[in-house]
Amino acid sequence: MFDYSKMFDLSGRRALVIGGASGIGQASALGLAAHGAEVVVADLNVALAEETVHQIKKGGGKGAAMKIDMRDKANIEAAAQSLGALDALVVTPSINVRKPLLDLTDDEFDRVVDLNLKGVFRVLRAFAPAMAARGKGSIVALSSVRAQVVEPGQGVYAATKAGTLQMIRALAAELGPLGVRLNAVAPGVVETPLTKQIIENDAWYRAYADKSMLKRWASPAEMAGAVVFLCSDASSYVTGSYLLVDGGWTAVDGRFTPPLPKRAG
């Protein structure tokens, strides 16, 4: 009989969170640890990753830090070799260059694609085979609402997020028969280092807040629930999905609120 009380219990499981030093990655690591997982926090900045591990241990959890550079094939493969089969893998890092598409240089285009899209590919190629051989595992990659809707200045970023989604879906189809699930989480506007440029511009910040149904930005912690769900048995029949965590951003069209009659009472 299925034990509903343990749907989100990750006790005895090991998870790797790449990008776990800050933002959504850090929140994901803390969320997974809070539900019992032993979490390996990986980042370019190992000192900051150690701070996340400190928070995990302070809360009674288990964790360790390591360096992973998603742009470095050898580094990723060495990390996969040392860690072996994982129960869960979460991939969060991204960069963006906010410029009109026709003004992007080849170098700027390549830098965004190399981390956001090819970096995810390198990680999948290195870590997924051990899960497949073991016959189980959950992989979560951070996509974005930009995989579905775009705005000026986000052309290459949006392309990488759409590419990540489709790559995740393709591998989900390929590894599903082997017991491995892959899903993409699509945040809306979240207060992270990546969105610092917008946060510091009051008009821009407010406009983004108003676009969501909830009329506010999300905190990184509000993304952790989706990650925990997708890494747990609560989502055992969920794979190839695009899970929107966007405050209703993509469900509303246009930038104009029509003058509707006031509610009675």
Q: What is the per-residue pLDDT across 214-249, written as a single tens digit (0 to 9) for each?
A: 999 999 999 999 999 999 999 999 999 999 999 999
**Are 17 and 25 contacting, i.e. CB atoms less than 8 angstroms apart?**
yes
CA angle 233, 178, 28 (to 5 degrees): 40
Q: Percent of the chain having pLDDT more than 70?
A: 98
Task: Summarize the chain as % helix, strand, coil (round to 5).
Answer: 50, 15, 35
Question: For residues 181 and 174, what is the distance between their CA atoms, to the nearest angstrom?
Answer: 10
Task: Give the number of other CB atoms < 10 A from CB of residue 252.
Answer: 12
pLDDT for 256 beyond 80? no
pLDDT at 231: 98
pLDDT at position 261 is 80
Q: What's the pLDDT score for residue 255?
A: 65
pLDDT at 18 over 90: yes
β-pairing, 88-91 vs 62-67, is unpaired
Place of tokens 């089969």: 85
Residue 251, pLDDT score: 94
CATH code of the domain made up of 9-190+219-245:
3.40.50.720
Which residues are known to be catalytic?
A: 157
Residue 37 above 90 pLDDT? yes
Round the average pLDDT of the chain to a whole number and report it: 95
- What average pLDDT score do residues 5-17 get? 97
Q: How far apart are CA 202 and CA 191, in angstroms?
A: 13
Report domain extents, the chain.
9-190+219-245
> Which pLDDT band, with edges at 50, 70 and 90, does 265 fall under?
low
pLDDT, position 21: 97
Alpha helices in 176-262 (DSSP H): 196-199, 202-211, 221-231
Question: Strands 242-245, 180-187: parallel, antiparallel or unpaired by DSSP?
Answer: parallel
pLDDT of residue 1: 79
Q: How many CA atoms lie within 13 A of 41 on its CB side?
A: 32
Q: Give per-residue burial for 50-71: e unless 16+ CB within 10 Å, then b.
A: bbbbebbeeeebebbbbebbbe
Query: CA-CA distance, 244 to 143, in Å (whole number)?
Result: 9
pLDDT mean over 74-79: 98
Mean pLDDT of 46-65: 98
pLDDT of residue 192: 87
**Mean local confidence (pLDDT), 92-103:** 95
Residue 189: helix, strand or coil by DSSP? Answer: coil
61 pLDDT band, cuts 50/70/90, is very high
Per-residue pLDDT tens for 148-181? Answer: 999 999 999 999 999 999 999 999 999 999 999 9
Over residues 113-117, mean pLDDT: 98
Kindly tell me if the per-residue pLDDT of 100 is higher than 80: yes
In terms of Cα–Cα distance, which of 15, 7, 27, 5 is closest to 224? 27
Per-residue pLDDT at 186: 98
What pLDDT, on the 0 to 100 scale, is given for residue 262? 79
Confidence class for position 135, pLDDT limits 50, 70, 90: very high
Tokens of 40: 């390996």
Round to whole Å and give the CA distance between 41 and 56: 10
What average pLDDT does this structure show over 143-149?
A: 96
Overall size of the chain counted in residues? 265
Cα dist. 151→15, 23, 145, 157, 158 in Å? 34, 23, 11, 10, 9
Q: What percent of the chain has pLDDT over 90?
A: 90
